[in-house]
Amino acid sequence: MTPVMTPAMPPSIDNALRETLIDFVYREARLIDEKQLDAWYELFTEDGLYWIPLAPDQRDGLNHASLMYEDRLLLQLRIERLKQPRAFSQQPESRCQHVLQRPEIESAGADGYRTRTPFFYAEVRGDEQLVFTGVVRHHLVEEDGALRIREKRIDLLNCEAALPSVQLFM
């Protein structure tokens, strides 16, 4: 009898690859937490996207409003702004911390790998602390023998709320 694939059952991939994908997701979050933003930026493919939808189950970031829909150019501009010592929005400097559940591998195929990771994210600046929760979905591909991010989609639990300005990256 062949088992039926359900959303809770991961695709059949070897354990070494599964652990590599999971480690990648953890490392990506750690690079942000440790403000290694140039190294984080290099994880994205040339056509890579960083997307935070404005509505649950939003299918398109181009033709619908999003909280963020950034390609590599916009990511680079934001990183450069954050590195400026005179950036007013960074006085005092923001810090962040991700708390991730164990990533799940949702699919593995010719178009790459898709992961799903529930998370908590906290960002602090001075006396202000912001906390967000949701699910981050990575679309990962292999390029030149390394995993890269084609799309990072962050589905916030409260995406429809009036949200404060997030300075860093979730």
Cα–Cα distance measured from residue 38 to residue 165, given in angstroms and rounded to the nearest whole number: 22
Cα–Cα distance measured from residue 41 to residue 79, given in angstroms and rounded to the nearest whole number: 8
Cα–Cα distance measured from residue 51 to residue 17, given in angstroms and rounded to the nearest whole number: 25
Write the DSSP symbol of residue 162. -
56: exposed, middle or buried (C-beta count within 10 Å: 0-12, 13-18, 19+)?
exposed
Residue 102 · residue 119 · CB < 8 Å? no
Residue 138 · residue 146 · CB < 8 Å? no
Q: How much is the pLDDT for 170?
A: 94
- Report the candidate in 45, 73, 75, 70 with the shortest Cα–Cα distance to residue 147: 45
Q: How much is the pLDDT for 45?
A: 98
What average pLDDT values come out for the chain (170 residues) when binned by 10 residues? 51 89 98 97 98 92 90 95 78 90 96 98 92 98 97 95 86
Q: How much is the pLDDT for 4?
A: 46
Read off the pTM: 0.89
Cα–Cα distance measured from residue 140 to residue 142, given in angstroms and rounded to the nearest whole number: 7
Three-state SS at 127: coil
Q: How much is the pLDDT for 75?
A: 97
In order of their start, the domains of the chain are 15-55+64-82+93-156 (3.10.450.50)
For 144, left (φ over 0), alpha (ψ -120 to 50), or beta? Answer: left
Give start and end residues of each alpha helix (H) in 4-96: 15-33, 37-41, 72-83
Q: How much is the pLDDT for 7?
A: 54
Q: How much is the pLDDT for 120?
A: 98
Cα–Cα distance measured from residue 112 to residue 138, given in angstroms and rounded to the nearest whole number: 10
